[in-house]
């Protein structure tokens, strides 16, 4: 076995199947151009397999397409004109679409430490509702945003490093002389259909409920097994399999353990499309799942796989479970998220 064969064999053993790529695919050139999404200026990154579109508002990726199947992964706003968010406002259902970042919290809460003690963190954080600065360079798109109530700079550099991959490289800079506690979460809102499947590492076996409208996962804080769970009524559920609009339900849950394998996958039954998110578990050690399927008062069907730096949606609660989701005074933290498209 020569050196190249050894490297490829080692990669095949360590990575989930959707992430192992033929060597020749890594030379595909990226096309980067300006366009329009609904009524918004947009930026498109594209190669032979991947087409991604982003806008400045929220730094949002509004579209991610596997061109081989013409399959759109991301949930879309239904209005003909883009529905913008207002800073400090609640995230309305018609605004929840595409991919954005939750930072420095998800749920609204008050910061607990000086010098920002008592400062209110807005619903879903700050950055999803702000206009990000956008810069184009050679085959890459860079987006950046500066905090309003807290002194930080968050940037995201987006590339297509392989034929079926989109990578987001994050850089968080603390602009103050004080430690900053935060919660970052990826927020990809995926289109779903009945029979979609969530595929996770073997270590994701013990979940904890954050929300369960039907009660099949119990109440907030209850523990359950994943993917197979037998509820209080003795009914057996495969939680990895989406039920479709007939479910009339919405759920959110976290996995109790910190991850050592940094990936999660979402698969579609009708055309075999799949997307795998990979991320560094040392920086992003937690995972949350959200599934909403025609819940009472909300006819949408969608799902989110949410790698996150800390669990349970609020920095005043998450700090009880982890002490690592913070950035020191004047310091920088980095991480990445890679989307790999493949059957």
Per-residue pLDDT at 18: 41
Closest CA to 26 of 135, 133, 159, 214: 159
Backbone angles phi, psi at 132, to 5 degrees: -90, 150
In which band, very low, low, confident or very high, does the pLDDT at 3 lie, cut at 50, 70 and 90? Answer: very low
| % of the chain surpassing 90 pLDDT | 90
Task: Extract the tokens encoding 102.
Answer: 């939750």
Backbone angles phi, psi at 34, to 5 degrees: -90, 150
Closest CA to 87 of 48, 118, 58, 47: 58
* Residues 6 or more apart in contact with residue 279 via CB below 8 angstroms: 186, 262, 263, 307, 335, 336, 337, 338
> In this structure, are residues 64 and 44 in contact, taking their beta carbons and an 8 Å threshold?
no
Task: Tell me the pLDDT tens digit for each residue of 204-231.
Answer: 999 999 999 999 999 999 999 999 999 9
Q: Which one-letter DSSP state was computed for residue 13? A: H
Per-residue pLDDT at 4: 40
Task: Tell me the pLDDT tens digit for each residue of 51-96.
Answer: 999 999 999 999 999 999 999 999 999 999 999 999 999 999 999 9
Per-residue pLDDT at 27: 56
Q: Indicate whether 20 pLDDT > 50.
A: no
Q: Which one-letter DSSP state was computed for residue 240? A: T
Task: Extract the tokens encoding 155.
Answer: 């940037």
In which band, very low, low, confident or very high, does the pLDDT at 178 lie, cut at 50, 70 and 90? Answer: very high
> In this structure, are residues 158 and 45 in contact, taking their beta carbons and an 8 Å threshold?
yes
* Residues 6 or more apart in contact with residue 213 via CB below 8 angstroms: 249, 250, 251, 295, 296
> In this structure, are residues 237 and 228 in contact, taking their beta carbons and an 8 Å threshold?
yes
Average pLDDT taken over every residue of the chain: 92
> In this structure, are residues 145 and 59 in contact, taking their beta carbons and an 8 Å threshold?
yes
Gyration radius (Cα) of the chain, Å: 20
What are the chain's domains?
Answer: 3-341 (2.70.98.10)
Task: Tell me the pLDDT tens digit for each residue of 102-150.
Answer: 999 999 999 999 999 999 999 999 999 999 999 998 889 999 999 999 9
- Is the torsion defined by CA of 266, 184, 301, 204 positive or negative? positive
Q: What is the mean pLDDT of residues 265-293?
A: 98
């Amino acid at each position: 076995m020569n050196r190249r064969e050894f490297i490829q064999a080692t990669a095949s053993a360590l990575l989930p199947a959707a992430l192992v790529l033929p060597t020749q695919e890594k030379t595909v050139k990226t096309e980067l151009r300006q366009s329009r999404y609904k009524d918004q200026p947009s930026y498109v990154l594209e190669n032979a397999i991947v087409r991604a579109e982003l806008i400045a508002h929220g730094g949002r990726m509004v579209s991610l397409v596997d061109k081989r199947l013409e399959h759109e992964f991301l949930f879309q706003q239904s209005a003909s004109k883009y529905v913008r968010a207002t800073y400090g406002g609640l995230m309305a259902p018609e605004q929840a679409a595409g991919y954005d970042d939750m930072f420095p919290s998800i749920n609204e809460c008050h910061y607990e430490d000086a010098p920002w003690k008592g400062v209110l963190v807005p619903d879903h954080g700050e950055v999803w509702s702000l206009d990000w600065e956008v810069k184009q360079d050679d085959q890459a798109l860079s987006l950046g945003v500066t905090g309003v109530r807290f002194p930080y700079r968050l940037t995201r550099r987006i590339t297509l490093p392989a034929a079926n991959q989109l990578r987001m490289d994050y850089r968080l800079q603390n602009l103050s002389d004080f430690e900053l506690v935060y919660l970052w979460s990826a927020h990809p809102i995926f289109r779903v259909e009945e029979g979609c499947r969530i595929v996770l590492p073997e270590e994701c076996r013990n979940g904890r409920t954050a929300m369960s409208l039907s009660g099949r996962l119990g109440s907030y804080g209850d523990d359950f097994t994943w993917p197979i769970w037998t509820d209080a009524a003795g009914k057996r559920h495969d939680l990895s399999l989406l039920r479709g609009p007939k479910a009339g339900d919405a759920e959110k849950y976290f996995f109790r353990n910190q991850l050592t394998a940094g990936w999660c996958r979402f698969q579609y039954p009708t055309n075999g499309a799949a997307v795998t998110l990979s991320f560094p578990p040392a920086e992003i050690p937690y995972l949350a799942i959200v599934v909403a399927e025609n819940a009472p008062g909300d006819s949408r069907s969608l799902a989110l796989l949410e790698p996150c730096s800390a669990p349970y949606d609020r920095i005043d609660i998450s700090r009880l479970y982890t002490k690592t989701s913070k950035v020191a005074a004047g310091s920088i933290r980095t991480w990445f998220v890679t989307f790999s498209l493949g059957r």
